[in-house]
Amino acid sequence: MVSAVPASTEVRRHAGIPTGVHVACERGGRVLLMRRAGTGFFDGLYSLPGGHVEEGESVRAAAARELAEEIGLRVQAEALEWVGVVHRRSDSNRIDFFLRARVWQGEPQILEPDKCDCLVWCDAAALPAETVPYVHVALSQPQAPWMLELGW
- Nearest Cα to 127, choosing from 51, 37, 36, 29? 29
Taking only the tens place, the pLDDT of each residue in 64-122 is 999 999 999 999 999 999 999 999 987 778 999 999 999 999 999 999 999 999 999 99
- Nearest Cα to 98, choosing from 74, 77, 75, 81? 81
pTM for the full predicted model: 0.87
For the cut 60, the answer to whether the pLDDT of residue 6 exceeds it is no
Fill in the DSSP letter of residue 131.
Answer: B
Say if residues 119 and 111 touch (Cβ distance below 8 Å): no
Mean of the pLDDT values across residues 30-37? 97
- Nearest Cα to 147, choosing from 90, 83, 101? 83
* Mean pLDDT taken over the chain: 90
Q: What residues are paired with 89 via a beta bridge?
A: 93
Query: What CA–CA distance (Å, rounded) separates 139 from 26?
Result: 11
pLDDT confidence band for 8 (50 / 70 / 90): very low
For the cut 50, the answer to whether the pLDDT of residue 9 exceeds it is no
Cα 99 to chain centroid distance, Å, stands at 8
What is the structure's pLDDT at 92?
A: 77
Quick one: which H or E segment has residue 134? Answer: helix 133-139
Positive or negative torsion for Cα 114, 55, 83, 71: negative
Positive or negative torsion for Cα 88, 89, 95, 97: negative
What is the structure's pLDDT at 100?
A: 97
